[in-house]
Chain A
Amino acid sequence: MASAAETARQAERADVRSRWLLSTPALLIILVAAIGPLFVMLAYSFMVKGDYGDVKFGQFSLDGWFSVFFSRDIFDDTVGLADAHLSIFWRSVKLSLITTLLTLGLGFPTAYFIATRPASTREVWVFLITIPFWTNLLIRTFAMQEVIRNEGILNTLMMWLGLIDRPVQLMYTDVAILFGMVYVYLPLMVLPLYASMEKLDFRLVEAGYDLYATRLRVLWRIIIPLVRPGIVAGSILVFIPSLGAYVTPRVLGGGKNMMLGNLIELQFGAGRNWPLGAALSITLMAIVMLALLVYVRNAARSGAQHV
């Protein structure tokens, strides 16, 4: 006769088996649709580029990775840094950071406003925040073009108000890209910020005032430390997609002001350099992973504080 411990072990094994069985479909999809392509990309980045796109299978080459960082002069064959790529990397990181800071600056008061409304109206405000998601990103971006172009709403309004004499060139500048990205990613900042502010005990704010902290000090010493998880989550949610943004810089930034997403698209399209495109994509992923690593360590630290 099996002992009680033996029976328990058997039951546990059966339990584990059924759990694996239940998660198999999901695991398969992740494997085939998410992880699989990553390996394809990794493999492509180490192959020789095809003459009309694609790659030459089985022909190993480091050219793709080499061109991410370096360029060979076509006349004298000397090797230099790939200034064009590096400046696009830098631009992407810079614009994404600025976007993150701007959305944080605009999103924080917005989230605070919503979180301090009566419970009955909060949901209405949150609902309003999500309305832009109902429309396709491309259409919204073209609408933004209508707002900021030389004869657009913004310039017309400023001229009518007498603020400027002639239209300010916004289209096809970094400012236009920032306009578009802040607009697109603002909800992604507001929602996690709101989620952590909603949990904030506003009696702590009163306690701060009671203990002689002015409004600004209550903000710095009490509100911000307590909603930090929301700030970190919102920043990550904005920074990552900003870094890979494609539509916004393409439509509002024109051909000159490329970001990483556009550079990658170029390699798979007109550039016909798939290994380089694959290597660039993996580099982008590495940057994102780095940002996430910082986030996880941050979250772990602030989590430890609250337990």
Chain B
Amino acid sequence: MPEKPDRNAIEVRNVSKIFGSGDARFAALDRVSVNIRENEFFTLLGPSGCGKTTLLRLIAGFDFPSEGEIFLYGDDIAPLPPFRRPVNTVFQSYALFPHMTVAQNIGFGLEMLGKPKAEVEARVTQMLKLVRMEQLAGRRTSQISGGQQQRVALARALAPQPKVLLLDEPLSALDYKLRKDMQIELKTLQHETGITFIFVTHDQEEALTMSDRIAVMSAGKILQVGSPRDIYDRPAERFVADFIGESNFLPAAIVSTAGNLATVRLASGAEIPASLPDGFAPKGDVSIVVRPEHAQLAKPEGAALAGTVETVVYLGTDTHFHLKLDSGEPFIVRRQNARGHTDRFVAGNRVGLLIPADSAQVLKD
């Protein structure tokens, strides 16, 4: 294969993982295929039980796929034990060795690789500096805080310079403020080290903040892969739209399609443009999704949709207007509380709804 600037670090091909047998048979992963590019911050996002951690464990080598292949830079690694894979993991619980110091933890991988002592020490010093833990090198891992343990776990996994770093919900045990800081820190670290990161989380906000690309998973399948903006603005399926951010779903009928664009007719009879998922050319009735902040409130006359304001929720930075459309569907509009709004809407008002071009997306299901 010719070297391309974005060659694949990991290729997962048709991988299934079956647990149990007979009636208790359960497919944690169902014929999953995905390519993860070199130097990319790739996130597996989904609710608990969707198979994201299973996929990570298959790449790490703690479990073996029931079917399919996993390639690391072109080599099939699926049959290799974890200690033969140039891949390291940051565990959810950190899994730091309690009988070793911070420095011993960080040096463990290099030591096991049989590196000379001087090299191990030099690299440990470098890693301690990278995660700003120089002062605590001699401490036991039980004598440092959660955030510090997190950084030691990160340094320990990065020290052997793995080709791919796997992170299994590493921020979930931290409090909100620390988590925010660590998100930025992780992103910076990924940039500095140039190592491919595969990050597992169920936190959509975390995924959107940090990732170059996100794979949204549900029930053992990958539903959509794309950049955070793709995933948020162009969800291909109802689950993706629902899981990430807030969504308004509306029934619509396809009038015409041209490439990735369609014209759809809403229940009110108004026709609006809507984007289509890649390679999807539907006919007849479909669902469309509109993000609450993309719709605009207006006067009822001449608007695409009309309805009544039911509740107004003030949230400081913005306000949520809960509407009931004339067709009976609920609809939420989010408006930033910027200065200069001249129009005020209160419960009971009749309002119109504008759906600007590029804000409606047709769903596959």
Contact = CB atoms under 8 A, between A and B. Distances in A.
Interface of A: 201, 203-204, 206-214, 217, 221-222, 225-226, 305-307
6 contacts: A203-B93, A209-B83, A210-B82, A211-B88, A211-B160, A212-B109
Given A203-B91, A206-B62, A207-B89, A212 B97 contact: no
Nearest to B153: A207
B99 A209 contact: no
A307 B60 CA distance: 31
B83 A306 contact: no
Contacts of B142: 306-307
Contacts of B99: 225-226, 305-306
B97 A217 contact: no
A208 B87 CA distance: 13
A103 B149 CA distance: 38
B83 A212 contact: yes
Interface string B279-297: 0000000000000000000
B113 interface: yes
Contacts of A221: 108
Contacts of B62: 206, 209-210
B113 A212 contact: yes
Nearest to A302: B99
A225 B60 CA distance: 25
Nearest to A207: B95
B140 interface: yes
A214 B99 CA distance: 19
Contacts of A217: 112
Contacts of A210: 60-62, 82-83, 87-89, 157
B81 interface: yes
A201 B60 CA distance: 18
A307 B88 CA distance: 28
B88 A204 contact: no
B234 interface: no
B334 interface: no
Given A203-B95, A305-B99, A306-B98, A209 B109 contact: no
B61 A209 contact: yes
Interface in B76-100: 81-83, 87-89, 91, 93, 95-99
Contacts of B160: 211-212
Contacts of B157: 210-211
Most buried by B among A207, A209, A307: A207
A204 B88 CA distance: 13
Contacts of A307: 140, 142
Contacts of B60: 210
A211 to B, nearest CB: 4
A222 B81 contact: no
A204 B141 CA distance: 13
B156 interface: yes
Contacts of B61: 209-210
A212 B82 CA distance: 7
A213 B83 contact: yes
Given A209-B61, A211-B108, A204 B95 contact: yes
A306 B140 CA distance: 8
Contact of A212 (B96, B98, B112): B112
A226 B98 contact: yes
Interface in B83-132: 83, 87-89, 91, 93, 95-99, 108-109, 112-113
A197 to B, nearest CB: 15
A259 B113 CA distance: 49
B199 to A, nearest CB: 16
Given A209-B61, A212-B109, A222 B97 contact: yes
B1 to A, nearest CB: 28
A13 to B, nearest CB: 39
Contacts of B88: 210-211
Contacts of A207: 89, 91, 95-97
A209 B96 CA distance: 13
Contacts of A208: 97, 108
Interface string B59-84: 01110000000000000000001110
Given A207-B95, A207-B97, A306-B98, 18 more contacts: A203-B91, A206-B82, A206-B95, A207-B89, A207-B91, A208-B97, A210-B60, A210-B88, A212-B109, A212-B113, A212-B160, A213-B83, A214-B83, A214-B112, A225-B99, A226-B99, A306-B142, A307-B140
Nearest to B140: A305
A94 B60 CA distance: 47
A204 B113 contact: no
A211 B93 contact: no
Interface string B136-155: 00001010000000000000
A222 B61 CA distance: 19
A27 to B, nearest CB: 38
Nearest to A206: B62
Contacts of B108: 208, 211, 213, 221
Most buried by A among B93, B97, B157: B97
